[in-house]
Every structure is written in structure tokens, then in C-alpha cells.
Structure 1
Amino acid sequence: MENPNYQIKVNKNEFVWNSLGGELTFDGAPALLFWDSAIELFLKTIEEISGNDVSKTVYEVTGFRMGHLVSTYYKGRTDVVELLNEYSDIYKSAGWGIFEIHDYSYEEKRAVVRIRNSWEHRIFKLADKNKVCVLLPSHWAGIFSGLFQQDMWYKMTKSQLDGHEYDEVEIFPSNITISQNIHELARRKEQESIFELEKKVEARTEELSSLVQELSSPIIPVLKGILVIPLIGKYNEERISNMTEKSLIEFTRLKAKYLLIDLTAIKQVDNYSIHGIEKLIQAIRLIGGRCFIVGVSSELSIQILNSNVNLDGIRSFSSLQQGVEYAIGQNGYELVKKK
């Protein structure tokens, strides 16, 4: 039977294809081959689904973990300089580009890697994107984290996007970890979501506040010289201020004498609202008008009494009808049933 395996050596690296099993091994380990365009599509899909910030973290986490995994294959080797040269040959043979260890110090736990014609740069260039590479630099940070047995991170000191012949990556000890990166990203996205939600709530609140101001506390002319203002819902400082201002404007414009404050729609009243009513009464008095409180239920009257607000001298009525009839009489008119 014909041998199904096809074998080739590139530099010191061995590729073996099993044509029957559809398998490829690279230096004895299972491997895959992809076109640059396929990897480009893969990365682009991640960006489209995740967005730029998330995809950058995904690339860095993936690159770092891949590099750390590679370092475990050579665990225990003491000839680190020779090993790093082997790494460069491996990546060159695999089509990853040209990697040069420009500077290295095991004592200081530092290294400088120069990268040319990497698949990451080729893909971004093919896609016509001016995007700094992050996956391969973080990959080398993962490799050196394994070799140095401590957390390492990277910094881009030169980029081909700026006209340099290579990407230069400085690897150094760092407190930054992949777990922290993921955690910080999650917190940042959470904060962004909260901020967006707050903006929506703020916009909706402004819209609702405007609607409430338009619909609540309308000034209703009943008869000549008599106005009614029905109170609806709960009142805050802004609503009380708007109610008082609107009442004064309409009271003056219509040359009214009496303002009936209708509490029929109020089931519960707090001290703040009662103080607001007192403020409105005082304001109407200052321009020569009189206020009556109407629509006061027995429960509401108890709440007002317990509020310790002084409403002495203010006439109140259990219904709007009674208040209107009294104001008509005070205005010099009377209601007579038609025969």
C-alpha cells in the first residue's frame, strides 16, 4: 500500500500530511492551515458582533493564552536564548512572519521583539485598516510570562503604520493580568450600559415632567371673578413653583377675586404639599385675592390638621359645588332655580 503520509522539512521544522486521514502535524503536534482571507473573515466577524473595545480584549486574551500555551511545550528548558531563536524559526516556517528577539534580559525580565510581515499586519493591510496589531504582541507577552514564570505585558514602541520597517514590542513585568483585563472590560461595558440607561431615563423623565406640567393644575374659569385649580398627584418644589406662577398670571389676567383650590383628586397629602398650598394662598392674598379650599374629605382633613400648618382663616368646603356657591354669593350673585 502506498504511504499516505507526505513529509517536508522547512528549516528545522517538520510538516507531515496524512492524505487519508485529512490530518496535518507540525513538529509532531496536530495543526491547521488557513488562508489569510479566512482569518480576516474570522476577526471581522468578532469585531462586528462584539464591537471594537470588546474585540481588542478578545484578541489580547486569545493571543496571551496562546503564547502561554506555547511556552508550556518547552517547559524546563534552560537554554532560553536558543529556544527563542527556535521560536523565530517556528513562526517563520508556519507563515506567521519574521520575529526577531532584538533585546533580552532574563535577570531584568525584559525583552524586545521586532515583527515584520506578520499575518496580523498582512490581514489589516489587506482589509485597508490602519489598526495597530494586538494579538501577536500579547502572544509574545504570554510566551515570556511562561518563560519568566511571572505576569508580563507588552507595549508597542514602533509600528509599521507609522512608517517603520517593523513592529517593535517591548515585553516587561506587569501587574496587568488577563483576568483583570476581562474584569475591567466587563465593568467598563457595565458602566457604559448604566450611563446609556441613565440618559434614557433622564430624557424620559424630562418628557414626562413636561407632560405633567402641561396636564396638571389647569386654571379653570367658573364664573366671572371665580377660578378653580384642581390639584392632581404629588407635588415637588418645581410643580409647586409652576402652579403658583401659573395661578398668579391667570388670576391677574382674568381679573379674578376668588381662587378655589380643589383637593378632590388628592387622596393623601404630605407636609410639603400642604406648605405649597399655604404658599399659593399667601401669593394670591398679596395681589388682593382670596382662596378657598374645596373637596376636602374627612381623611384629608385629619392629615391637614396633623401637619401643624396654620390654615386659620381659610374657608374650606367638602365639595367643589359648595365652594362655588359660596364664592358666587361673596361675589354679589346668587343661584336661583329657574321656574
Structure 2
Amino acid sequence: MDFPKNDLPANPKKDVFGIKIEWDEADGSMRYAGETAMVMWVETAMKSFLETISEISGSQVANVVLETAGYRMGAIVSEFFKTGEIHDIFQTLPSVYRAAGWGLTTVSDYSVENKTAIIQVKDSWEYRINKIQSEGRDPAFLPGHFAGLLSNLYEDNIWYTIEKSQLNGDDCYEFYFSPSQITPTQNIHELTRAQEQREISKLEEMVEERTKDLRELVKEISSPLIPVFDDIVVIPLMGTYDDMRANELLHKTLDKLPEIKANYVILDLTGINDSVDEYMISLIQKMTQSAALLGSQCILVGISPKLSIEMTNANFTTRETHIGCYSTLKHAIMYALSQEGKQI
């Protein structure tokens, strides 16, 4: 970097493309077109600034942040242009951004009636930074900025599409602006939903893997009570239950529940779809009622249509003991985890 010697005149002024730039040596300020401004090195300071945003928030989030910041800044800057006729604004606009070092800016076409515009920018500061970073990412701040500016000028919501890209070998960037339902706020909400969905999918995959392990475990062991987590146990009911077997399972289970101190007892009824009889209905009712008396909440999983009909005919109710019902073991485990404020 070449720094000049301190031999400049006091409070120098410069006219660039018709834009007045002034410096005040006394307070160390700079004014661009009458407004306080600042200068930053693009390939060092600005590059480091954008890299920091990307490192902290991630590339996808950083892109939305830049696009939204550009849009809001453009809406503010538009107030500077609103002092003139809109046709004059489009004539002046390129000089303002060229003088500010934003790149070789050209308004190649526009329609006030249709609220559209085509803006071309060659070698913008954002393109230079992206090129140095070798990320292969098109500008987000610049088109977002012009979208915000035009939205305010046209008094309508304006968004953009990238028609030409210097990263793809074109001689400049060309942005087409037109009325749209897309907004920065919508992009933020979509990003948030996408992140939440990824987390949910990740949790579902982990629960699915754990559920598969549990299914294999159920096949291999004879114990009627399987601890899943500290406060959650699964009791698989399989096969045909007569009075003797039902009482044996009930007593074994209730003997262990106080030791485990489980808050949730999940009764997996998937294995009894073909073995529905009065003993089975009685067993389910006794286990849910007994578990509730011991301070555990029961969750029923895998109720078949046939079992549902028999339970209804037997006046089986889930209201008094607050019994939850789910179609799969995975969903029941996820529900119990959420109630405990936990996740896998």
C-alpha cells in the first residue's frame, strides 16, 4: 500500500463523475454526495469482514444476511434519489455507484410502467472478494441492494434474477428486477424452516437407528421391560396372553417400575395384532392403571384396527389416566423425549 505524504491541502474536495467527495481533516470525516461516508480496502478489510460473517454463521446463512442487509440499505439509499424524477434517477444512478467504487455500473434498460429494470455491474467489489475466496458464489449484497432501492422507488416489492454472471464467464453481472412475491423476510423464514427441518430429519434418523436397535433387542431378549433412556421404558407385548401369562407379565413389570423410576412407560402392542382377546384388553387396562398409580405415564403404540374396536367395545378409555397413543415406537419415543426436554 502506498501512503501519500502529508502535503495535501486542508479539507480537500473532489468531483468524481459529478459526485462531490469532501474530506474534513479536523474531525477525520469524509462526505460522499453530502453524506458522511467511509473507505475500506476491498481485497483485505472487506474480504476479512465478509469471511468473518461466513465463518460465524455458515455460508448459506451468510448469503441471506448479505442479501437482506443489501436490501435494507438500498431502501434507505433510495431516499437520496427520491428528490428527482425517476427518469433522471436512472441516468444519475450509474455515476453514484461508479464514483463509490462499487464497480462499472450501467442501467441498460428500465420500464417505469412495468416496474422493471436491468442493471449491469462489472468487476464489483463483491465479485472481486468472491473471486479471491474462490467460493464460486455470485453476489448477494449488490442485487439485494438494488432490489431494495427499486422497491422504494417503484413503491412495490421488487426482486431479482441473475441473467449473466462473471463467475460463469460473462463480461459482467446482469440483474433483472421485476415485481415479485419474494422478500428478504420470506427468505429468512424459509432459511429458518430449512434449518429446523434438517435438525428434525437428523433427529428422526437417529431415533430411527435407535428404534431399529430396539426392535432387534426385543427379538433377542425375554425381559418384559426394556430401558430406553433414564426416564423411558418400553414394554413389548407379543403373542397370545391367557390369564396366567398376563398376571405374570403384570407383576414382573410393576415390580421393576419403582426401581427404574420411569416417567414414561411405552406399551408396544404391534406384536398382538392377531391375538386380540379379553385377556389382552384386561392386561392393557391393568398395566396402564397400575403404572399411573406408580407415577408413570403410559403411551400405547401400534394399536391395530381390530384392537381399537375391541378396546372400544370394552369401554377402554384413555382420558382418566392421560394415555397417549402413537402409531409407531419412534414417534412415541420422540414424544417422551420432548416432554422431558431431551433429544438424542
TM-score scaled by length of structure 2: 0.64
Aligned length: 255
Structure 1 counterpart of 2:179: 173
Contact 2:235 2:267 in 1 (8 A): no
Which deviates further from its counterpart, 129-138 or 24-33? 129-138
SS of the equivalent of 2:252 reads coil
Cα displacement string for residues 79-131 of structure 1 (whole angstroms, at most 9, x for unaligned residues): x2221222211111111101111111101111111110111111111222321
**The structure with more radius of gyration:** 1
In structure 2, what is the Cα distance between the partners aligned to 1:82 and 1:99? 16
- Structure 1 residues 114-133: aligned runs within 5 Å: 114-133=120-139
Match of 1:69 among 76, 85, 96: 76
Contact 2:122 2:173 in 1 (8 A): yes
Unaligned stretches of 5+ residues in structure 1: 218-229, 245-258, 280-298, 310-339
Structure 2 counterpart of 1:159: 165
Match of 2:253 among 266, 269, 273: 266
- In structure 1, give the amino acid aligned to 2:65: V
Structure 2 counterpart of 1:49: 56
Match of 1:60 among 54, 58, 67: 67
Q: CA RMSD in A?
A: 3.7
Q: Cα offset for 1:266?
A: 2.4
Q: Does 1:110 align with 2:116?
A: yes
- In structure 1, give the amino acid aligned to 2:25: S
Match of 1:137 among 119, 138, 143: 143
Structure 1 counterpart of 2:29: 23
- In structure 2, give the amino acid aligned to 1:72: E
In structure 1, what is the Cα distance between the partners aligned to 2:215 and 2:106? 65
- In structure 1, give the amino acid aligned to 2:186: Q
Which deviates further from its counterpart, 164-173 or 6-15? 6-15
Cα distance, 1:41–1:144 mapped onto 2, change above 3 Å: same
Q: Cα offset for 1:72?
A: 1.2
Structure 2 counterpart of 1:240: 238
In structure 1, what is the Cα distance between the partners aligned to 2:55 and 2:170? 29
Structure 2 counterpart of 1:198: 204
Contact 1:231 1:262 in 2 (8 A): no
Structure 1 counterpart of 2:156: 150
SS of the equivalent of 1:17 reads strand
Cα displacement string for residues 168-193 of structure 1 (whole angstroms, at most 9, x for unaligned residues): 11000011122222222222222222
In structure 1, what is the Cα distance between the partners aligned to 2:268 and 2:207? 25
In structure 2, what is the Cα distance between the partners aligned to 1:28 and 1:130? 36
Q: What percent of counterpart residues are identical?
A: 34
Match of 1:87 among 50, 74, 93: 93
In structure 1, what is the Cα distance between the partners aligned to 2:82 and 2:267? 75
SS of the equivalent of 1:201 reads helix
SS of the equivalent of 2:254 reads coil
- In structure 2, give the amino acid aligned to 1:58: V
Unaligned stretches of 5+ residues in structure 2: 1-7, 227-233, 256-264, 276-285, 291-310, 315-344
Cα distance, 1:265–1:103 mapped onto 2, change above 3 Å: same
In structure 1, what is the Cα distance between the partners aligned to 2:84 and 2:15? 23
Structure 2 counterpart of 1:97: 103
TM-score scaled by length of structure 1: 0.65
